[in-house]
Amino acid sequence: MINRFSPNGIFLTICSISQYVKSEIELPTIHPKKSIALIAIGLCVYFLYLYHAGYQDVIESLRGAAISLFAAAVILALLGVFCDALAWRAIALKFDYKVPIKDIFMIYLSCGFMNNLIPSGSFSGETARVYFLEKLDGGSRIDQSSATVATTRIITAIPFFLGTAIGLAYLDLVTDAPPWALATCYAIALVLLLLNATFFGICFAENWLERIAFTIIKYVESILHVHIDKNQCSRILERFHRSMTLLAEHKKTLFISTFWALAGWLCMTTVAVVVFRSMGVTVPLWAVLAVYSVMIFLQMLPIFLPGGVGLVDIVMSTLFTAIGLPMHTAVAATILIRLVQLWMLTAIGGVATAYLVKKINREPLIAGAEKRLAKGF
């Protein structure tokens, strides 16, 4: 599942600006051997869990899944990413970014690919978002591109907290979920609420933003042994703050972006409901919302496992069991949900990343050829 919400946006903004000041923002580097090794570790842990859960019953549940409904779940996941892309595009248009909707969609898919292969609490994916937006637009507006990402992060938090509140109310009032499951969900929701409120405050409080920025820059300088022009950073942060303030005044744009964010969130959470239906099991959307709040929290943590492979799967299966589902059904459903939202979207995101890199590298060659043709040779 693509991580749609994380308070790491402010760290992304400052580090992106730091990169831009010392050279230019770069696409995060994937280390295939390291990623494959970490994925193998996560899968080994999960296979041990499957053995404990009774893998034969899990296999039987998987065999009974309806292919047509599973295909519908795949379409819903892609539609969810497309809606998220539309939410971001609504914000980007306010800054006159002229990137086609097809490429915005590809960038969002690439964002998921980067997040899943480079465990960084969504930092890698959002850096890729800023990088591709800057390159495809042909400009150097790091303050504005970072502002579009930060604003989208705030907007996508709205359906997240709305869904979490509904899901927790359902678990608490309707189901017989054990106290530990309720306590876990409530604690995670509270932590995320505080983090998002802090992120929101920092984005719109210029003094806070600059103070935290210089603290992070000092840390980056000591780790990477580079010198960063703090005066230039200060000017870019000032423009970033103005960009955020400008966006806050465009109520219609924010409404449109929020609408698409809500649609994307609904599509992504409905994937789980459809997967359960494909297995002949009915699970209320409200229960899924509570489980997804925990999933999102785990995926925004910079844990060492790509895509949270193994860890997220085990926690997800355990929570589905806690709301009353048989273990083999919960595990089978988790496998199918993760197949759609992690493995398939990551694979498609890899193709999207290759397409974007090829397009960026090709356009300067085309521009050069057109100039030569215009000169008559």
User: Which of 336, 331, 320 is closest to 171 using CA atoms?
Assistant: 320
Residue 105 has pLDDT above 60, yes or no: yes
Per-residue pLDDT of 259-291, as tens digits, reads 999 999 889 889 989 999 998 888 888 778 777
User: Which of 38, 24, 32, 228 is closest to 135 using CA atoms?
Assistant: 24
User: Which of 195, 197, 194, 164 is closest to 182 using CA atoms?
Assistant: 164
pLDDT band at 311 (very low <50, low <70, confident <90, very high): confident
Specify the amino acid at residue 321.
Answer: T
The token duo for 285 is: 């959307």
The token duo for 197 is: 């409120």
Instruction: Label each residue of 158-196 as H, E or C.
Output: HHHHHHHHHHHHHHHHCCCCCHHHHHHHHHHHHHHHHHH
Separation between Cα atoms, residue 96 and residue 347, nearest integer Å: 31
Residue 181 has pLDDT above 50, yes or no: yes
10 vs 205 pLDDT, higher one: 205
Separation between Cα atoms, residue 256 and residue 119, nearest integer Å: 31
- What pLDDT was estimated at residue 86? 93
Specify the amino acid at residue 353.
Answer: T
- What pLDDT was estimated at residue 4? 54
Find the mean pLDDT for residues 172-182: 73
Residue 208 has pLDDT above 70, yes or no: no
Q: Are 210 and 199 in contact (CB under 8 A)?
A: no
Chain centroid offset of residue 306 CA: 13
- What pLDDT was estimated at residue 255? 87
Q: Where do the domains of the chain lie?
A: 9-374
Is the Cα dihedral 343, 347, 349, 350 positive or negative? Answer: positive
- What pLDDT was estimated at residue 290? 75
The token duo for 295 is: 């999933």
The SS3 of residue 293 is helix
Burial class for 355, CB neighbours closer than 10 Å (0-12, 13-18, 19+): middle
Per-residue pLDDT of 14-37, as tens digits, reads 455 444 444 456 666 677 777 788
250 vs 224 pLDDT, higher one: 250
Find the mean pLDDT for residues 366-375: 45
Find the mean pLDDT for residues 205-230: 63
- What pLDDT was estimated at residue 167? 75
Q: Are 11 and 220 in contact (CB under 8 A)?
A: no
Find the mean pLDDT for residues 158-184: 75
CA dihedral 28, 34, 36, 40 (to 10 degrees): -130
Instruction: Give me the phi and psi of 304, to 5 degrees please.
Output: -75, -15
Residue 239 has pLDDT above 90, yes or no: no
Q: How far is CA 264 from CA 2, 4, 48, 163, 337, in A?
A: 11, 9, 34, 12, 16
Chain centroid offset of residue 371 CA: 39
Residue 234 has pLDDT above 70, yes or no: no
> Highest mean pLDDT range out of 98-112, 201-215, 356-370?
98-112
Residue 348 has pLDDT above 90, yes or no: yes
pLDDT band at 106 (very low <50, low <70, confident <90, very high): very high
